[in-house]
Amino acid sequence: MTKKLNGKVALVTGASKGIGAAIALRLAAEGAAVAVNYSSSKEGADRVVAEITKNGGKAVAVQGDLSKQADIRHVVDATVKAFGPLDILVNNAGIYQFEPLEAITPESFHKTFDLNVLGLLLTTQEAVKSFNPKGGSVINVSSVVTSVTPPMSSVYTASKGAVDAITGVLAKELAPKKIRVNSLNPGMILTEGVQSAGMHEGEMADWIAATAPLGRIGNPDEMAGPTVFLASDDSSYITGTSILASGGLK
């Protein structure tokens, strides 16, 4: 069977674990050479790269804190140096923090927005300079919170609302370069972060089980399939769209 992404080059940000790791593994399985970006977890990124290469794929781990412009340039340059011009950018790096209105500080706001919004914009800006002249695909990982708007998520939800808006704007702006821009909006996914925060069990998990039509939280692999679709020619006439991958929660 022909692989959907043979010969393509992909950069996946925040790919040392969770959704990013699952996406990197699936893109590689479909034939893409993948740059696995990480900020602090070299061990996690190396593990993803090792799994890809063990299965006959091409991958390289690239360190960079994407809230810093110099790091962004390094990540894109290292990707191009390893594999050539980009065809696919997955903007997955991000942080989430839930806190009530009275606990919000300028520091917590800027920490979230510097990575989730500004980092995404600057990474896309830098990556587009190195895209294949034939075009390609940018996939922004957003969140179901933009439609659910849960309590105690003002800053995080605002940051992902910005991601959805940016997706629409850049779909129009980058169309002349034949670069499509879409977003993937996951629901609660069983990642290491969700587990360490204890959100995979208890009140929140019970609420999702009762509210989401599919009656459960998702797993990272379930985010990889829609990403391959958005990265491949299967979605060649789709841009400026959000795919809600939330088990029906909205």
Could you tell me what percentage of the chain is helix, strand and coil, using 3-state DSSP and rounding each to the nearest 5? 50, 15, 35
Taking the alpha carbons at both ends of the chain, their separation in whole angstroms is 36
Would residue 38 show up in a list of annotated catalytic residues for this protein?
Answer: no
Q: How many whole angstroms separate alpha carbon 149 and alpha carbon 238?
A: 26
- Crossing angle (nearest 10°) for helices 18-29 and 221-231: 50
- From the list 38, 96, 156, 237, the catalytic residue is 156
Q: How many whole angstroms separate alpha carbon 121 and alpha carbon 123?
A: 6
- Crossing angle (nearest 10°) for helices 120-128 and 154-174: 20
As beta bridge partners, residue 61 has: 36
Q: Tokens 């990540």 map to which residue? A: 75
DSSP string for residues in 85-131: SBSEEEE---------GGG--HHHHHHHHIIIIIIHHHHHHHHHTTB
Active site residues: 156
